[in-house]
Structure 1
């Protein structure tokens, strides 16, 4: 085996070691809706981050640091304040009518795998009407949870 062969073998070995050293860690994510009716928790898709030798310090930064972007990617760009399609998608997740008088507030909970780091990030109020149209149910957002009357076309579901 010549110098080129040894160099290639060494480069392949370094690449394999480096890949293994950049361990994946998972950021477990859930939403918590707090209202006067109680607390409602829903798991959402988790995300992964890479850390050298599985370092917790990087994961402890990445989990809360990438949280808002992650929630926006799932539900829509208008997360804080919540409105439009983002509100509709979150209301579907919780499956309930959420009115301003319920004093609703949504937090995102995160937990860094095997690092013991967890916390909450408040992302704002979530309000919507749950409407029925024949056999169909859909959600109508109440932007900024401003007190408002139910639209005439939105029959209670």
Structure 2
């Protein structure tokens, strides 16, 4: 297991679940204190990689009780956004691309794309993904593409 400070620095002291800042000086016993969430990914039968991410202690605890939800930023103008967790899980298993949101303008799509890639760098750091924007029918579709 990595040092808490190393994981915190790498993740810019932001919780991968709620995307809120984590106080590096808070007690690890505090609900909003820092903790390391880890999970294993089997690349092959003999090759297992452990991924570690920073989380608030209470966010990490709640994740064990219910499936995590990575919310879209309320500052983005997106229509019918797909659930980020489910989309990432499918792309990690199957690859390919999926429409993850629709936006009314190119500028909104660009902002959503930038935000999504930043958010995925903390939520799914092992996912090699890009975004694509396609116009059609008076809207802009934002695709998440697993490379």
The structure with higher relative contact order (CA 8 Å, sep 6+) is: 1
Normalising by structure 2, we get a TM-score of 0.32
Normalising by structure 1, we get a TM-score of 0.30
Structure number with the higher strand fraction is 1
Structure number with the higher helix fraction is 1
**Pair member with larger Rg:** 1
